[in-house]
């Protein structure tokens, strides 16, 4: 008993910080800390807009983009023009979305409002729907749109793809 108490005492500030970081905010929000202060952030309200026409699953342009060069931080909402968009959850043909190997979600989008899920991101190249190393992102369903906590892809010439959202949360070609 003394060993456990001593260990908690020695790890006190670290343990306290971890507990606060893990439990300070309600489900569907994220705990952010700045200068020792904690704040609950709703990704549905606090996101960065990505409105790049080249990300469209219909784009076959020869200009190649690389999302590995981006320093992803925070949550992102996709648009194609004035229309809300989502990362497709089906394998996308090579040389689309402004890159060689388009990034897509292997799994369904969340279905419950404010639900946050982890999803594997795959890429299409050389006839394979998951050729390069995969990575995991978070996806949240907001009121009629999705936000994504994006991560850096494993290599260059990979970019997140976007398709428009219909009222049934399916992708429109």
Q: Residue 31: what pLDDT? A: 83
Going from N- to C-terminal start, the domains of the chain cover: 2-41, 48-172
At residue 105, the 3 state secondary structure works out as strand
Q: Residue 37: what pLDDT? A: 81
CB atoms within 10 A of CB 61: 14
Q: Residue 167: what pLDDT? A: 37
Q: How confident is the model at residue 164 (pLDDT cuts 50, 70, 90)?
A: confident
At residue 130, the 3 state secondary structure works out as coil
In percent, the amount of the chain with pLDDT more than 70 equals: 82
Measured in degrees and rounded to the nearest 5, phi and psi for residue 102 equal -65, 140
The torsion defined by the Cα of 168, 166, 171 and 65, in degrees rounded to 10, comes to -140
Is the pLDDT confidence value at 156 over 80?
Answer: yes
Can you tell me the distance from the alpha carbon of 158 to that of 151, in angstroms, rounded to the nearest whole number?
A: 12
- Residues 40-77 pLDDT 10s: 899 999 999 999 999 999 999 888 999 999 999 999 99
Q: If we measure between CA atoms, which residue out of 89, 87, 68 comes closest to residue 79? A: 87
Q: Residue 15: what pLDDT? A: 53
Q: Residue 12: what pLDDT? A: 59
Rounded to 5°, angle at Cα 40 from 47 and 169: 45
The residue among 165 and 26 whose pLDDT is bigger is 26
The residue among 33 and 138 whose pLDDT is bigger is 138
Q: Which residues contact 27 (CB under 8 A, 6 or more apart)?
A: 114, 116
């Amino acid at each position: 008993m003394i060993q456990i108490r001593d260990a908690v005492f020695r790890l006190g500030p670290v343990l306290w910080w971890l507990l606060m970081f893990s439990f300070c905010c309600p489900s569907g929000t994220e705990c952010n800390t700045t200068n020792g202060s904690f704040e609950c952030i709703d990704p549905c309200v606090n996101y960065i807009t990505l409105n790049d026409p080249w990300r469209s699953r219909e784009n076959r342009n020869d200009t190649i983009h690389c999302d590995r060069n981006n320093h992803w931080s925070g949550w992102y909402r996709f648009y194609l023009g004035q229309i809300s968009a989502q990362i497709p959850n089906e394998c996308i043909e090579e040389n689309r979305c402004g890159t060689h190997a388009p990034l897509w979600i292997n799994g369904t989008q969340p279905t419950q409002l404010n639900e946050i899920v982890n999803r594997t991101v795959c890429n299409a190249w050389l006839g394979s729907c998951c050729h390069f190393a995969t990575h995991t992102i978070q996806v949240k369903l907001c009121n009629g749109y999705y936000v994504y906590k994006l991560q850096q892809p494993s290599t260059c010439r990979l970019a997140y793809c976007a398709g428009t959202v219909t009222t049934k949360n399916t992708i429109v070609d």
